Structure 1
Amino acid sequence: MIKKIGLLVILCFHFNAIAQEDAWVYLVDKENVQASIANPITILTQKAIDRKSMHSVSIDERDVPVNENYIIQLKAQTGITVLAKSKWFNAIHVRGLQVDISALINLSFVNEIIYADNNLNSKTVISKPKSDFKFESARTTYNYGNALNQIQMFNGDDLHIANYTGAGMTVAVIDAGFPGVDNIAGFSHVRDAGNILGTYDFVARDVDVYTNTTSNHGTLVLSDMAGFVQDNFVGTAPDAEYYLFITEDAPNENPVEESYWVEAVERADSLGVDVVNTSLGYKSYDNANYSHSDADLDGLTTYISKGANIAFEKGMLMVTSAGNSGASGIAAPGDAPGSFTIAAVNANSNYASFSSQGSNIQLTQKPDVAAQGQASYVISQNNNISTANGTSFSSPIMAGGIVCLWQALPNLNNAEIMQLVRESASQFNNPDYLLGYGIPDLSLALNQGLSVENFTAIDTNLIVFPNPVNNELNVHLPSTYEVGNITLYNILGKKVLESQVSQANRKVNVSHFSKGVYLLKVEADGFLKTLKLIIN
Structure 2
Amino acid sequence: MASDKSTASLTTASSKAILLLVVFLLTHTLSFSQTTTRTYLVRLRDKVSSPYSVSRPEQFLSQRSIQRRQKQNIAVLERDLPVNPAYVTQLQQAGAKVRFTSRWLNAVLIEATDATMTAVQRLPFVTGLEFNRALSRPVRSGGRLGAETDTKFGQVQTAINYGTSQTQITQLGVDNMHAAGFRGEGILIGVLDSGFMNADEVSFLKPLFDEKRILATYDFVKKETSVYEDDSHGTSCLAAIAATADGQLYGTAFKASFVLLRTEDADSEQQVEEANWLFGAEYADSAGVDVISSSLGYTTFDDPSQNYTYANMDGKTALCTRAAQIASETGMVVVVAAGNEGSNAWRYISAPSDAAGVLCIAAVNQTGQWASFSSIGPAADGRVKPDLAARGQGTIIGNPDGRIASGNGTSFATPLVAGLAAGFWQANSRLTAVQVVEALRRSGTQAGAPDAQLGYGIPNFARPLATEEPMAPFVVFPNPFSDGEPLTIDWQTINANASVDATLADLTGRTVWQYRYQPGKLGTLTVPSLNLSAGFYVMTIVSGDKRRVIKLLKR
Short-chain TM bin: 0.7 to 0.9
1:453 aligned partner? 506
Separation in 2, partners of 1:170, 1:17: 46
Counterpart residue identity of residue 407, structure 2: A
Separation in 1, partners of 2:507, 2:350: 39
Instruction: Determine helix, strand or coil for the equivalent of 2:47.
Output: coil
**1:55 equivalenced with 2:72 (yes/no):** yes
| Pairing 1:231-380 to 2, within 5 Å after superposition | 231-326=247-342, 328=346, 329-380=348-399
2:173 aligned partner? 155
Q: Larger C-alpha radius of gyration, 1 or 2?
A: 2
Q: Deviations over 1:471-501 (max 9, x none)?
A: xxxxxxxxxxxxxxxxxxxxxxxxxxxxxxx
**1:432 equivalenced with 2:451 (yes/no):** yes
Counterpart residue identity of residue 212, structure 2: G
Q: Verify the 8 A CA contact 1:357 1:434 in the aligned structure 2.
A: yes
Distance of aligned partners of 1:373 and 1:33 in 2 relative to their CA distance in 1, 3 Å threshold: same
1:24 to 41, 52, 56: 41
Q: Deviations over 1:252-307 (max 9, x none)?
A: 11111111111111111111110000100011111111221222111111111011
Separation in 2, partners of 1:232, 1:295: 42
Q: Verify the 8 A CA contact 1:166 1:240 in the aligned structure 2.
A: yes
Q: Deviations over 1:214-234 (max 9, x none)?
A: x10000000000111122211
Separation in 1, partners of 2:455, 2:359: 11
Q: Verify the 8 A CA contact 2:349 2:379 in the aligned structure 1.
A: no
Q: Verify the 8 A CA contact 1:380 1:386 in the aligned structure 2.
A: yes
Q: Verify the 8 A CA contact 1:141 1:160 in the aligned structure 2.
A: no
Q: Deviations over 1:450-478 (max 9, x none)?
A: 96417755479xxxxxxxxxxxxxxxxxx
Counterpart residue identity of residue 62, structure 1: R
Task: Tell me how far 1:119 sits from its aligned partner.
Answer: 13
1:66 to 75, 83, 93: 83
2:244 to 224, 228, 240: 228
2:192 aligned partner? 174
Counterpart residue identity of residue 416, structure 2: I
Distance of aligned partners of 1:274 and 1:452 in 2 relative to their CA distance in 1, 3 Å threshold: farther
Separation in 2, partners of 1:162, 1:110: 54
Distance of aligned partners of 1:308 and 1:273 in 2 relative to their CA distance in 1, 3 Å threshold: same
Q: Verify the 8 A CA contact 1:26 1:111 in the aligned structure 2.
A: yes
> What TM-score do the two structures reach when normalised by structure 2?
0.72
Distance of aligned partners of 1:435 and 1:60 in 2 relative to their CA distance in 1, 3 Å threshold: same
**1:204 equivalenced with 2:222 (yes/no):** yes
| Pairing 1:483-502 to 2, within 5 Å after superposition | none
> What TM-score do the two structures reach when normalised by structure 1?
0.75
Flag structure 1 segments of 5+ consecutive residues without an equivalent.
1-11, 121-139, 461-520, 529-536
1:512 aligned partner? none
1:45 aligned partner? 62
Task: Tell me how far 1:66 sits from its aligned partner.
Answer: 1.4
Instruction: Determine helix, strand or coil for the equivalent of 2:169.
Output: helix
Instruction: Determine helix, strand or coil for the equivalent of 1:41.
Output: helix
Distance of aligned partners of 1:293 and 1:22 in 2 relative to their CA distance in 1, 3 Å threshold: farther
1:127 aligned partner? none
Task: Tell me how far 1:101 sits from its aligned partner.
Answer: 3.0
Separation in 1, partners of 2:167, 2:399: 19
Q: Verify the 8 A CA contact 2:49 2:84 in the aligned structure 1.
A: no
| Pairing 1:98-177 to 2, within 5 Å after superposition | 100-115=116-131, 117=133, 142-177=160-195
Task: Tell me how far 1:32 sits from its aligned partner.
Answer: 5.9
Distance of aligned partners of 1:452 and 1:334 in 2 relative to their CA distance in 1, 3 Å threshold: farther
2:103 aligned partner? 87
Task: Tell me how far 1:82 sits from its aligned partner.
Answer: 3.5
2:211 to 193, 198, 201: 193
Q: Verify the 8 A CA contact 2:34 2:114 in the aligned structure 1.
A: no
Instruction: Determine helix, strand or coil for the equivalent of 1:199.
Output: strand
Separation in 2, partners of 1:352, 1:35: 48
Q: Verify the 8 A CA contact 1:172 1:242 in the aligned structure 2.
A: yes
Separation in 1, partners of 2:49, 2:163: 54
Q: Deviations over 1:374-423 (max 9, x none)?
A: 11011111110001110000000111011100000011111111111111
Instruction: Determine helix, strand or coil for the equivalent of 2:463.
Output: helix
Structure 1 outlier segments of 4+, above 4 Å? 15-22, 31-35, 95-100, 116-120, 445-448, 454-457, 523-526
2:13 aligned partner? none
Instruction: Determine helix, strand or coil for the equivalent of 1:410.
Output: coil
Counterpart residue identity of residue 47, structure 1: R
Q: Which moved more, 1:200-209 or 1:182-191?
A: 182-191
Separation in 1, partners of 2:162, 2:135: 52
Instruction: Determine helix, strand or coil for the equivalent of 2:506.
Output: helix
Counterpart residue identity of residue 256, structure 1: V
Instruction: Determine helix, strand or coil for the equivalent of 1:326.
Output: coil
Counterpart residue identity of residue 239, structure 1: K
Flag structure 2 segments of 5+ consecutive residues without an equivalent.
1-28, 137-157, 468-479, 481-503, 514-537, 550-555
Q: Verify the 8 A CA contact 1:44 1:271 in the aligned structure 2.
A: yes
